[in-house]
Amino acid sequence: MATIDVDGMTCAVCVSRVESVISELDGISNVAVNLAKGSASFSGTVDVENVIAAVNRSGYKASKPINYFQKWKSEKEKSNREIKISTISLVYSLLAMYYIMTAKSDQTMFGFFSMCIVLGLNWKVVQKGLDSIVYGVNMYTLVLLAFCCALFWSLTNMDQAMWEATFIVIAFVGFGDSLESLARSSATSSFAELSSMVSVGNIEVGDELSLSAGMVVPVDGTVLDGWTDVEQSVITGENMPVPVKSGDPVWAGSTILDGSVVIRADADSGSSRIDEVIRLVDKSQSQKAEIEKTVDKIARIFVPLVILLAVSTFLFWRPTMGTESSLRMAITVMIIACPCAMGLATPIALFVGTSVGAKNGILLKGHRALEAASKIDVVVFDKTGTLTTGDFEVVADNEECLRIAASLEIHTNHPIATAIVKSCSDTYEASDVTTIPGWGVKGKIDGKSYSVGKGHDGIEVKQGESLLGLIRIKDTIRKDAVDALRFLDSVILSSGDKESEVRRVATELNITDARSNQTPEDKLELIESLSNVAMVGDGINDSAALAASDLGIAVSSATGVADVSSDIVLTRDGLMSTIDALDLASKTRTNIRQNLVWAFGYNLLALPVAMGALYHSHGLVLPPWSAAAAMSLSSMCVILNSIRLRWSFERGMARRRHGSRITPR
């Protein structure tokens, strides 16, 4: 899908308008607009320039996308500047309103002067209102109509003018917009930090690059010369420095801490692992949940409905309250309604959730993960590379048999042979070494024949027919496995390994349901027999089960196929990341629902009050300025609640790692 930046969107109505404009172009097959990021993604045969032109004609400002970090930094600077201007405007407006309402003399000139000052400082609010009349109604249509009504009344009824209503609403909306923009930049800071790691330039596979302390690795590569410690938390989520030397891989986005190295690029610019992470996060943030699509449909009729309610309010109360009071109530109805909160409820929470997840090594690939995470009853784990590290632990009966085995195995490249060689510090000179597929190796040392191969109880090391000792290979269990499994109520171990090894791992981890010698078909059959099940795996043989499960989680060592088949990808090592992922998905879903409850609840309660529902019983009539404040506060509550998601999740991560039991579901 192609993507463009779209500036000027403020609410769900704006999102619907931009989607409609792009969808109407011939050749467009799919459109997704992201309010939180200010972008639109689309697929089809239409040229990008034509889409940009169409969006610009609709009253919004479209452009080709730039690096998100640069865009975020620019918008944050603009937000800081606008919040200062709008604060001055609001303070002045409140003082001016107080003066006008308490002064005994005519304040027409002062009121008109104050209106001009506030309009000058908040001209964007008026401009958005005028654009909405031409290109499609939204919340600013309501603000503009309220302003025009107050201005018309004040100009035609000087003795009963409501000058304060002409500028206090504009001031509150301008302040709310700038505060919302500043909060939105704070909410999206995690994704901006991640985007800042994307390389720029034209590096190609095979290029050699010299990097020194303090530099960021621009592309994935392999160290050719030198040594250093690198900090690669942007990829793994781990802050602990990792030593690298000649032959070791390094990831784009990692920081060189000391020393210097020469690396060979293993990927072109834009094709490194960090770039794939960015694209994955970006895709998940551009997708829409069914609830969000429903909200967009409601938003399309929301503004016309509010205008109708405002007119009805004026006509209903005019006979009993008079023209001025009923007009104030109609203005209040138009101002207090807030489609912004509805439009932001889902995308801003999803934006925060996916961004903070990526920062901590958790990639949520879409809404399916959010919906499924809160319903999981049982978690099925693969063994090798998931519950275990995939690094073999070698245990030998004696040092001599280990040395002989290493002397022969050094001539092969089997993973078990590599583990045996690594565990031995010294070897003999061997000759006539022959590999016997599926069994082991044979060879000579000092003219004597030796063999290393499979036996009943382990790997047998023999001189001729005499057994010198046994070597046993164990797959090392992850250090955090026991602690992580404490947070799950029902766990099944499904592994293709032999029964004795699976039983050993299950016993150490207190897993009662452990299944060995499982083929990919067996794993798939197991998953299909269960409901509300999550599958955690890392290999090609897990791909079918990952895809068939309600929630597929691919761990850090996962193959490409496993990544594609899963709903969540973990880039941080360790099993506790699985618990973190379930927690984040569940918290994000809860946060979205909280936002929607607040957004709809606010409008359902605020509109009747503004229409005078409490006038007869309590004598309560809301003035226009309070409506403007309430409207701005509604959007801010949604944004601040979404920002709270980041704090809540990271606090939970810290507590889990310090031994406190916090149920992640």
> Which residue numbers are catalytic?
382
**Exposed/middle/buried for 618, CB within 10 Å: 0-12, 13-18, 19+?**
exposed
Round to whole Å and give the CA distance between 377 and 489.
Answer: 8
458 Cβ neighbours under 8 A, 6+ residues apart? 470, 471, 472, 473
Question: HEC states along 280-310?
Answer: HHHHHHHCCCHHHHHHHHHHHHHHHHHHHHH
Token pair of 556 as six digits: 């850090």
Q: Which of 89, 20, 186 is nearest to 647 (CA)?
A: 186
Please tell me the total number of residues recorded for the chain in this structure. Answer: 665
Neighbours of 391 (CB within 10 A): 12
Q: Which of 623, 611, 642, 609 is nearest to 172 (CA)?
A: 623
Place of tokens 């799950």: 488
Q: Phi/psi at 227 (nearest 5 deg)? A: -150, 160
- Bridge partners, 535 (sequence order): 380, 552
Give the DSSP H/E element, type plus range, for residue 640.
helix 624-657
Q: Which of 495, 580, 573 is nearest to 539 (CA)?
A: 495
Token pair of 235 as six digits: 């990829």
143 Cβ neighbours under 8 A, 6+ residues apart? 125, 129, 169, 170, 173, 334, 335
Token pair of 523 as six digits: 């794993």
Helix (H, G, I), strand (E, B) or coil at 229: strand
Within 13 Å of residue 575, how many CA atoms lie on the same side as its CB?
A: 28
